């Protein structure tokens, strides 16, 4: 019977699968972040790097990659783009010529301050459909999952 389609029913609908829902939630958050932070022309990944650098002061690229749970190559590319915009300084480390020591510039710190309210709004809007109590529980549950999987698997990918 050419041309007939068989509808296959799955026992586990897409809308009930954690992986699918997490991916959709990530897409929603990135769209909200881009909308709220469009004026700054910074990706969520770059924002995470700037935030990690602000917290550390200085750090090598490998440490920053671990801080934001990304591979070193992706992190290096993002840092190069931030450096080209003068938000980050990168210098060859004295102890290892293959390593780059990074620090936030004054312009990078100013950008973070300017972005704070917009980025915070995107994060809050991501979970706005939940009550305040449910938001706290949801964040705590995500932190528990991330901590458990990071400890056991050494997660190396992700974004803000």
Query: Residue 150: which H helix or E strand, with range?
Result: helix 132-153
Does the predicted TM-score (pTM) go above 0.85?
A: no
Listed residue (47, 61, 70, 146) closest to 101, CA to CA:
61
Domain boundaries, the chain: 16-151
DSSP state of 1: -
Quote the strand ranges of 37-134, DSSP E: 58-60, 88-92, 100-104
Q: DSSP for 57-81, please give it.
A: SEEEHHHHHHHTT--HHHHHHHHHH
Q: How far apart are CA 49 and CA 54, in angstroms?
A: 9
The per-residue pLDDT for range 53-108, each reduced to its tens digit, is 999 999 999 999 999 999 989 999 999 999 999 999 999 877 766 778 999 999 99
* CATH 3.30.457.10 assigned to 16-151: no
């Amino acid at each position: 019977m050419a041309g007939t389609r068989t509808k296959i029913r799955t026992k586990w609908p897409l809308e009930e699968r954690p992986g699918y829902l997490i991916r959709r939630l990530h897409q929603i958050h990135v769209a909200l972040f881009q909308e709220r932070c469009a004026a700054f022309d910074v990706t969520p990944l770059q924002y995470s790097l700037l935030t990690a650098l602000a917290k550390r002061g200085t750090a090598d690229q490998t440490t920053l990659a671990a801080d934001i749970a990304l591979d070193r190559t992706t992190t290096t590319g993002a840092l190069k783009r931030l450096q080209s915009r003068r938000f980050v300084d990168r210098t060859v480390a004295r102890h290892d010529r293959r390593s780059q020591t990074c620090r936030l510039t004054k312009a990078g710190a100013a950008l973070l301050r300017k972005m704070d309210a917009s980025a915070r709004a995107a994060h809050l809007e991501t979970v706005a459909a939940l009550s305040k109590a449910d938001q706290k529980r949801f964040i705590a549950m995500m932190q528990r999952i991330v901590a458990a999987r990071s400890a056991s698997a050494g997660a190396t990918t992700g974004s803000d």
